Structure 1
Amino acid sequence: MPQGAGVRPEGRRADGRLRDIRARGLLCVPQDARLRERPQAGADSHSSPEDGARNEVEIDAIAAYLFANADKHDFAVKSPPRGDAKNGEQIVKGIGCQGCHVVGEGSRVDVGPRRTFGQPLENIGNKTSYEWIYNWVRDPKHYSPATYMPNLRLTDSQVADVATFLVGLKGPAGDAAKAAPDPKVADDVLLDYLKNVMPFEDAKAQMAKMTPGQKQMDLGQRAIGRYGCFSCHDIKGFEQAQSIGTDLSEEGSKLVTRLDFAFVTDIPHTSKTAWFRTKLHDPRIFDKGRVLQPLEKLRMPNFDFTDEEVDRLLTAIMSFQREIQPPAAMPVRSARSDNIIVGRTLVHRRNCVGCHIIEGDGGDYLKLVADSSLGPPLLTPEGARVQPDWLYAFIRGPITIRPWLSVRMPTFGLDDQNVNTVLNYFGSISNSIGPFQSHELIKTASNTEGTGKQMFELLQCQKCHVLGTIPKDQPTNTLAPDLRMASERLQPDWILQWLKSPLAILPGTRMPAYWPDYPKSFYPQLGGNAEAQIRAIRDHVLTFRGGPSPKVSGAKNANNN
């Protein structure tokens, strides 16, 4: 085992597996390999011809190690049928895949981190096989039980269409090797690694006993250990490996005199924030102008952070302090604030904000939809809008609420703990946190039973809200959810607020404001009492039955990440 063995850091993406690279065809390479195509300010000490030759043999050895240590993966469908690529493209661009993936629209800097939460798809056809894509789209958890990729509940025919489209995406294939790896260079590089941990003569003697294949495996393992590939990926042989990076838990307290500015003179050497900002923008710049042996050079990769991302990371780093802050400086904690912190972390970790606007943030996918009313809904008021028991069942087993839309809510396979975290979060941000409760049918007074139905028809509610049958001649952007779900789905008190002032709850909604002068009313029913009229309509709506209902499925393959 190379230097740097220990405990794997918590909180990383659990689906970054490289154990089955033969099935996937995936490869992680050292950052140095990319310096040829993206020079950095500090590249003069990392991009010499010698470094280029070294990069090639390290990449070759890493690839050989990964393939040699790959686990066998049995596909659920071993000879999947081919589909229609055009239909597949329509599904990918309509169902919501682009909330997490780009299909040639630009880089992460161009489209933002949410729409690049998953890997870019424009060159997936160069990267892996049709069989792997088909089985992955069909059931991601069959391949990786801990993956964050949800199940889109596609039919086998739709899966074949999507896989056929994706396997045909053969964009840039990556940076090709400049030359075949030189065996002599490979020996020199391996000798560098060995003499770093043992006397020179012992290193030479050990290499003399090794076959070419053994040398390649040893070099691949040591290169993976040096570059820390195992910190993000599961790699056989590195199950107990420690992170190679600096412990950042007290980084904000570090004295500026402990930071190595080296020969970088265009930033003040008295500023920690300037050093951190420079490091985040160009991690290897502090090697510039220095004479270093290969294994002495900096290894942190360049993540291409934007200025905004650097600002956020800098704020986080400076908050990692050794000193315990006085109580007066700390925010007041409550059950609500804790629910918000934990829930906000979860919805960002699962990239719910890639499709939905939550607390004024996110909704990047909506930019791809011609009419925002045909996209994923605003979720900030969700805790006040829907009943907790319905939302619990919906998250566990999503159903179609607006069947005229292409986009759909996928199945994330969350366990009970995570589902309840989501429920508590939505309840907290909408100030409606409370115990689970089932709302029984509200009994209407005898003098309002007919009035509610009369006003429902007067206001032509059914012109937009379907009651089972979707009008064929109705424009889809004017349709609204099936009101037969209301008694099970919606909070009765929320319905009252929605009828009173829909624009206050959802700016831009097409739902008309029928009582703009509330508590006054245009309508004579119930003595012109707007509150009584609204309650009568609400009570009538809650008598509807027969709408689609989510069913709680088992917790199979649920995970708690």
Structure 2
Amino acid sequence: MSVMLSSTTAHDHWWSIAESMWARSIPRVTGNTLPPYRVSQCRYTVSNRLWNPGTTTRVFRVNRILIVVLLVLTACFARRGLAQSPSQPSLTDRLLAAGSDSLADQARERGDGVRGAILFSTQTLACTKCHAQAAEDLLGPDLNQAIAKLKDQEIVEAILQPSKVISKGFESVKILTLSGRVVTGRIVRRDDETILLRELSDANRLIEIPTDDIERLANDTVSAMPTKLADQLADRQQFLDLVKYLMDIAQAGAMPKVAGTINVATGTLEPRIYGKVLLDQFGCVNCHHNDTDETTRQRLMPAKQAPLLTSAASRIDPGYIRRFIADPHTIKPGTSMPNVMGHLSGDDRDAASTAITHYLVSLAGAPFHRDDVDAESATRGHELFHSVGCVACHSPRDEHGTESMPENSVALGDLSQKYSVAGLSTFLEHPHSVRPSGRMPDMKLTHWEAIDLANYLSVGVDSQLESSPMQADPSLIDHGRNWFAKLGCVECHVAKDAVQSNQHRQLATHSPALSQLDTERGCLSTGFGNWPRYELDDNQRDAIRVALAAADTALGDRDQIVLTMESFRCYRCHRRDDLGGVSDQRDPFFHTTNENLGPQGRIPPSLTGVGGKLRSKWMRDVLVGGRSIRPYVKTRMPQYGADNVAHLIELFAAVDPKPSVKITETPDPKEARKTGHELVGRSGLNCIACHTFQQKPAQTMPAVDLTEMAQRLHKEWFFQYMVSPQLLSPGTVMPSFWPGGKAIRKEVLDGDPNLQVGAIWEYLLEGRQARTPQGLQLEPIELLADQDRAVMLRRSYRDIGKRGIGVGYPGGLNLAYDAEQMRLAMIWKGKFADPGGVWRSQGHGTVRPLGTDLIAFSAGPDLDDARQPWIVDQGRPPHHRFTGYFLDDIGRPTWTYRYGEIEIEDYAIDGNDSDADQPLLKRSVTLNSQRPRDNLVFRVASGKRIRAIDEHSFLVGQSLRVRIDPQHQAQIVDAGSEKRLVVPLSLPTGRTTLEVEYRW
């Protein structure tokens, strides 16, 4: 029959029919009863594979054939565990069945608020992205206020059934724009002109939508909070711990409001300060200097100095130098270099630029040579450029090298035409030797990183540029030196033997002080004349005029900070007060080595109040010495040079007061240190679960080192932060162990927050000499097979990755299978595995095999083409597809995958060699081919050494004996640094079986 229905109606109509048929029919097909939630899982899996609605209406031809196909697919998925889906109800389902009253009672009696606080802050649950104490503009409500109104059982329901009751003001909305874009989120602010929305898909992002651009706005009855959040927890105890922490918060009072975002600024730079930044950027004071001018006298940072040119022609192509001098704004759009030859005729401009180039070549000492780009090095350079912080100021580039954000970026120009690879790498490694003013900072690149980055930035060099080194013409050197002075180049650039006398200058015959300038003439005009011409827009000209009008007004300390931070582009990474922070466009290029740390693990820290936070010595270590305590942040803290930024240390201290907090002095420091040691440990507040200690990373996340806290921080700031972390660091993953000023650990020091924090501070004062807290050295978790059933663990394994599947067999043998590359990855004896590295780090660690006699095999698929094998890398072979596994009656898996038109089943069981009285692993590989296929090879083992024992037996390494069934012949082949034991295969149509035994 044929039916015309709307896509949604038809979809639901036929699925309701199919579900009822499945519920009745599946027991007949599989021999097992399928519970309702499994029927829904089948529906979800099959519909996602078969259903792809693309239009509003669609013709459905539903007949018995379709129903049969769906039933067969469902039976298949039911038999194979829905491609690794669990066969038991989820944790959320089990908790709902237990009831909210019972769970609330259990949380009060058995829950641990400290463990719950840590769970609350992990990225597995990501609670802090939407909820924070005292935050007012996140997706979720202020917990102190919202939870305080709830009964304990209602807190349980809020987690398990978030859409049951949605807090007023925190409803989600769906907005359809005129362009067809659909945005879902929470309205943070709304007026007649715009709606400010906290986006559901990215809780860190605020977007502003003009009301005129909205076609439709509708309320969403589904909460922004995930419905199955509890499934991210390991067990019921973790749920009880989380609930207990929320109960503790509910008992606390409300806290002051703070902004919810950590990387979005709302302010704008004052025009007078922006104008002063531009005066510095374009080097105006180099010509218009005057010792009595307030703009010059009030500066705390030295004026920007142009690049040193003494050795420039050995790094930079002389042909590029000549073209750039003649027309800088065409050769490098966005440059701060003025056009000083606009008033010259074409012939004079060519003559002057050529002469100056010969003068600079004479100073270089070494000739310029081009070198070839190393493709592999350039690939590494691409990764560096887009991860260490270069794109905070410079535009990111696509795969073709095209800049994607040129309008908001510092111009680089065509570096492939400008530099040699060697010259550019030398500059990148030591930028201050050429640009001492620090506007191009030192990114702390190693020698090899600088080479990689230089190769990447040199990709695309025109081979036609290759030429013999330019020799300086003696007859032009003096002319060039004179032009260098006449055109005013000498005012900004330092070059050996340059003429300094003003009598040679054409451009600066009248260079009044900044305060005496006519702002409608000269450099600020739009006309051409006997003055430098800068690439300025109207906004920049207006800002400079405002700055010049205020030239006699001294800048205060706070404005000096803003001037310095804007001049050195600190605001591209750091937020301070209402200025700066990482933009939405550049946010994807800020990375971390540990996702558990949240945005703070990849976004440079806020500098709001930093003078009241950091000790001056530590700040100097960071700004001048390059010290770093956040190795998990891939973006590097640049070095600008002590002369350029050291003044910030005193300015921050002068402007930012220390928090005003009550500190109770510790009567007995020794006893306090002992208590602090206990609080930091696992049985106290478990700080060691997240923080590095003496450079040893924690299991959960490598947060800042505890042993450097007292060395870094002012005591007052530490006390304030510990009690109210969100107040000083909005969006932090640091939980509050004293919510509302009330201690979670009430049994310690009578629950006095001041005494507890003071005890921790006394302990931290010992720095690297502090005693190791309990919990840093963790005992392994042993996951073992039952006596009569295998155990499996799907997690990341060493040298396998996240698609590793470990199997522990009842007989004491174990293996790990790589479902990414379809291979047997390792085998070992004895105890199965320690999953602590995964369980304690919310899925980001690796499983550690226990036991003994571990044998690892090389990467790459076991089955491959003998003539054109896949070149092994970290990815998935393009012609292989893992299709899942199914279990036998004692839980031993059969791996299934496809290679082209061949279906493979790989099944291993543990056995016993009665002759040698030792266990063995029997492996049966069945290949089902749709047509004859030659030139295949199956790898059964690999190692440094392999030798034949007899026709079908082989010794791999020193202990592994491999036996191949008599129906197949194995070969030993060389593969670079290792040998491989392979079985050549020529498959007929149908099934072929290969049997292999492993003894060791």
TM-score band, normalised by the shorter chain?
0.5 to 0.7
Q: Which residue of 2 aligns with 1:444?
A: 669
Q: Which residue of 1 aligns with 2:488?
A: 228
Q: Report the CA distance between 1:496 and its aligned residue.
A: 0.4
Instruction: Say which of 434, 439, 445 aligns to 1:154.
Output: 445
Q: Does 1:425 align with 2:651?
A: yes
Q: Which residue of 2 aligns with 1:304?
A: 536
Equivalent AA in structure 2 for residue 302 of structure 1: Y
The aligned runs of 1:250-265 (5 Å cut-off) are: 251=515
Q: Report the CA distance between 1:497 and its aligned residue.
A: 0.7
Counterparts in 2 of 1:137 and 1:364: CA distance versus 1, 3 Å: same
State the distance in 2 between where 1:21 and 1:448 align. Answer: 59
Equivalent AA in structure 2 for residue 228 of structure 1: G
State the distance in 2 between where 1:448 and 1:234 align. Answer: 58
Q: Which residue of 1 aligns with 2:690?
A: 464
| 2:691/2:698 contact within 8 Å kept | no
Q: Does 1:315 align with 2:546?
A: yes
Q: Report the CA distance between 1:448 and its aligned residue.
A: 8.0
Q: Report the CA distance between 1:250 and its aligned residue.
A: 5.5
| Alpha-carbon displacement from aligned partner over 1:412-438 (angstroms, at most 9, x marks no partner) | 4426x963x2321221231259xxxxx
SS at match of 1:408: coil
Q: Which residue of 2 aligns with 1:140?
A: 431
TM-score when scaled to structure 1? 0.62
| 2:623/2:645 contact within 8 Å kept | no
Q: Does 1:111 align with 2:408?
A: yes
Counterparts in 2 of 1:303 and 1:168: CA distance versus 1, 3 Å: same
Counterparts in 2 of 1:362 and 1:73: CA distance versus 1, 3 Å: farther
Q: Does 1:355 align with 2:570?
A: no
State the distance in 2 between where 1:411 and 1:513 align. Answer: 34
Counterparts in 2 of 1:448 and 1:214: CA distance versus 1, 3 Å: closer
Counterparts in 2 of 1:456 and 1:66: CA distance versus 1, 3 Å: same
Q: Which residue of 1 aligns with 2:708?
A: 485
State the distance in 2 between where 1:358 and 1:74 align. Answer: 46
Counterparts in 2 of 1:359 and 1:394: CA distance versus 1, 3 Å: same
| Alpha-carbon displacement from aligned partner over 1:58-102 (angstroms, at most 9, x marks no partner) | 43333333324x242699xx9999972222222222222334444
Q: Which residue of 1 aligns with 2:925?
A: none
The aligned runs of 1:234-253 (5 Å cut-off) are: 234-242=494-502, 244-245=507-508, 247-249=511-513, 251=515
State the distance in 2 between where 1:318 and 1:90 align. Answer: 46
| 1:33/1:52 contact within 8 Å kept | no
State the distance in 1 between where 2:372 and 2:667 align. Answer: 55
| 1:134/1:163 contact within 8 Å kept | yes
State the distance in 1 between where 2:367 and 2:656 align. Answer: 46
State the distance in 1 between where 2:287 and 2:729 align. Answer: 47
SS at match of 2:691: coil
Equivalent AA in structure 2 for residue 515 of structure 1: W
TM-score when scaled to structure 2? 0.37
The aligned runs of 1:5-16 (5 Å cut-off) are: 12-14=303-305, 16=307
Counterparts in 2 of 1:74 and 1:408: CA distance versus 1, 3 Å: farther
Counterparts in 2 of 1:151 and 1:455: CA distance versus 1, 3 Å: closer
The aligned runs of 1:174-189 (5 Å cut-off) are: none
Counterparts in 2 of 1:444 and 1:156: CA distance versus 1, 3 Å: same
Pairs aligned (count): 429
Q: Which residue of 2 aligns with 1:72?
A: 365
State the distance in 1 between where 2:657 and 2:460 align. Answer: 46
State the distance in 2 between where 1:215 and 1:163 align. Answer: 35
Counterparts in 2 of 1:80 and 1:110: CA distance versus 1, 3 Å: closer
Q: Report the CA distance between 1:141 and its aligned residue.
A: 4.7
Q: Report the CA distance between 1:217 and its aligned residue.
A: 5.0
The aligned runs of 1:513-552 (5 Å cut-off) are: 513-518=736-741, 520-525=742-747, 526-545=749-768
| 2:396/2:405 contact within 8 Å kept | no
Q: Does 1:501 align with 2:724?
A: yes
SS at match of 2:448: helix
The structure with more helix, counted as a fraction of residues: 1
Q: Which residue of 2 aligns with 1:86?
A: 379
Counterparts in 2 of 1:137 and 1:381: CA distance versus 1, 3 Å: same
SS at match of 1:22: helix
State the distance in 1 between where 2:721 and 2:328 align. Answer: 57
Counterparts in 2 of 1:383 and 1:320: CA distance versus 1, 3 Å: closer
Equivalent AA in structure 2 for residue 312 of structure 1: A
Counterparts in 2 of 1:7 and 1:320: CA distance versus 1, 3 Å: closer
State the distance in 1 between where 2:342 and 2:627 align. Answer: 54
Q: Report the CA distance between 1:32 and its aligned residue.
A: 5.7
State the distance in 1 between where 2:514 and 2:342 align. Answer: 33
Say which is worse superposed, 27-36 or 11-20, in terms of deviation.
27-36
Counterparts in 2 of 1:360 and 1:412: CA distance versus 1, 3 Å: same
Q: Which residue of 2 aligns with 1:43?
A: none
State the distance in 2 between where 1:223 and 1:135 align. Answer: 29
State the distance in 2 between where 1:541 and 1:466 align. Answer: 13
SS at match of 2:424: helix
Q: Report the CA distance between 1:498 and its aligned residue.
A: 0.6
SS at match of 1:403: coil
State the distance in 1 between where 2:763 and 2:406 align. Answer: 50
Instruction: Say which of 386, 397, 400 aligns to 2:625.
Output: 397
Counterparts in 2 of 1:396 and 1:448: CA distance versus 1, 3 Å: closer
| Alpha-carbon displacement from aligned partner over 1:342-379 (angstroms, at most 9, x marks no partner) | 55555444444443334443345864426742132222
Q: Report the CA distance between 1:37 and its aligned residue.
A: 11
SS at match of 2:739: coil
State the distance in 2 between where 1:161 and 1:222 align. Answer: 39
Q: Does 1:369 align with 2:590?
A: yes
State the distance in 2 between where 1:359 and 1:137 align. Answer: 32
Q: Report the CA distance between 1:12 and its aligned residue.
A: 4.7
Counterparts in 2 of 1:73 and 1:381: CA distance versus 1, 3 Å: farther
State the distance in 1 between where 2:326 and 2:668 align. Answer: 67
Equivalent AA in structure 2 for residue 310 of structure 1: R
Q: Report the CA distance between 1:482 and its aligned residue.
A: 1.2
Equivalent AA in structure 2 for residue 483 of structure 1: L
Q: Which residue of 2 aligns with 1:96?
A: 389
Q: Does 1:453 align with 2:674?
A: no
Counterparts in 2 of 1:123 and 1:345: CA distance versus 1, 3 Å: same
Q: Report the CA distance between 1:24 and its aligned residue.
A: 2.0
State the distance in 2 between where 1:389 and 1:442 align. Answer: 28
Q: Which residue of 1 aligns with 2:64?
A: none
Q: Report the CA distance between 1:493 and its aligned residue.
A: 1.9
| Alpha-carbon displacement from aligned partner over 1:421-461 (angstroms, at most 9, x marks no partner) | 2321221231259xxxxxx9996363784376247544432
| 2:380/2:452 contact within 8 Å kept | yes
| 1:64/1:216 contact within 8 Å kept | yes
Equivalent AA in structure 1 for residue 491 of structure 2: S
Q: Report the CA distance between 1:23 and its aligned residue.
A: 0.8
Q: Which residue of 2 aligns with 1:17?
A: 308
Q: Does 1:387 align with 2:615?
A: yes
Q: Report the CA distance between 1:483 and its aligned residue.
A: 0.9
| 2:373/2:458 contact within 8 Å kept | no
| 1:8/1:240 contact within 8 Å kept | no
State the distance in 2 between where 1:107 and 1:311 align. Answer: 28
Equivalent AA in structure 2 for residue 369 of structure 1: F
State the distance in 2 between where 1:34 and 1:149 align. Answer: 19
Equivalent AA in structure 2 for residue 167 of structure 1: S
